[in-house]
Structure 1
Amino acid sequence: MSADGERTDEGGTGAELIVYTRPGCPFCTSLRAGLRRQDLEFREIDIWQEQGAAAAVRAIADGNETVPTVVLGDWSAVNPSASQVLDAVREHAPELLPESKPGLVSGALNALGLRQTD
């Protein structure tokens, strides 16, 4: 993994969703919850625990240690909403989107061997 969040191994575009956080941050808690509701996988980095993480955030956030800061390849954002992150994933790394899951009705119909028609 390189410092900018790009995977250095083979396969895919190498994009990884990185969320820089710190303990006790309510905005971090909110973003984590929103990303989990969207079933987005991400790597969380605590800027107080991981060496170099605070410096990475300062480089993105105009010298401030503002969290959450999110990085996805060349895209980054300071204190974004979950929907802004989801939009960035759609645009920059759609392979990170979760597979679509059937809703309750279509899932139940599929389980019964029936198909829902439009």
Structure 2
Amino acid sequence: MRRWRPSVVLLVAGILGGALLLRNSTLAGTLFMAACALFAVLFSPPAFPRSVTDAEARAAQAADGRPIIYWRPGCPYCLRMRTSLARQAGRYHWVDIWSDPEAAASVRAVADGNETVPTVVAPGKSYVNPSPELVRNLH
């Protein structure tokens, strides 16, 4: 449920805020509800490629050399990374740190004890909150 919290909060805010705005302006209320619903979808876990566990990602990376991107739902920087990579996003191993405690520990190990995401681990090098351009050039 924790993974869906940002999306649920956005939907509830959209419904409540939209209902209040509908009293004064139908257009404003409708647009507010639509915007909140859109952001709820963008921040939801299914907006990202299928997440794997930390162990699966490390095993796959050892075989194919593709970078691992650690992320969490509701993170605007992760969303920026995902949308910037666009169709290339499937070329990376995506690991949700909220669904895998080992993944959160891996991020803390390279991010000075913090769970800063996105964190990208390429063979031999780690990057905390890198630019999408840097990640695109890793593979």
Q: TM-score range by the shorter chain?
A: 0.5 to 0.7
Report the CA distance between 1:31 and its aligned residue: 0.3
Task: Give the TM-score of the pair, scaled to structure 2.
Answer: 0.53
User: Residue deviations 1:60-93, cap 9 Å, x none?
Assistant: 101110000011111210111110112222xxxx
In the alignment, residue 44 of structure 1 is paired with which amino acid? Answer: W
Tell me the distance in 1 between the aligned counterparts of 2:80 and 2:130: 10
Q: 2:128 aligns with which of 57, 69, 78?
A: 78
Aligned equivalent of 1:115: none
In terms of fraction of residues, the more helix-rich structure is 2
Measure the CA separation in 2 of the matches of 1:31 and 1:87.
Answer: 13
Query: Residue 21 of structure 1: CA displacement?
Result: 0.6
CA distance in 1: counterparts of 2:93 and 2:102, whole angstroms: 15
2:96 to 46, 50, 58: 46
Counterpart check, 1:5 vs 2:58: yes
Matched, 1:35 2:85: yes
1:5–1:16 contact (8 Å) kept in structure 2? no
Match of 2:8 in 1: none
> The residue matched to 1:49 in structure 2 has which SS?
coil
In the other structure, the counterpart of 1:94 is none
Q: In structure 1, list runs of 5 or more residues that go unmatched.
A: 90-118
- Deviation track 1:10-29 (CA, whole Å, cap 9, x = no partner) reads xxxx3122110111000000
Pick one of 23, 26, 32 that aligns with 2:76.
Answer: 26
AA at the equivalent of 2:83:
A
TM-score of the superposed pair, with normalisation by structure 1: 0.61
> Does the aligned pair in 1 maintain the 2:57–2:68 contact within 8 Å?
no
Change (3 A) 1:2 1:73: farther
> In the TM superposition, what are the counterparts of 1:87-98 in structure 2 within 5 Å?
87-89=137-139
Aligned partner of 2:69: which letter?
V
Q: Where in structure 1 do 4 or more consecutive aligned residues deviate above 2 Å?
A: 1-9
Q: Whole-Å Cα distance in 2 between the matches of residues 28 and 75 of structure 1?
A: 19
Please state how far the C-alpha of 1:57 moved relative to its aligned partner. 0.1
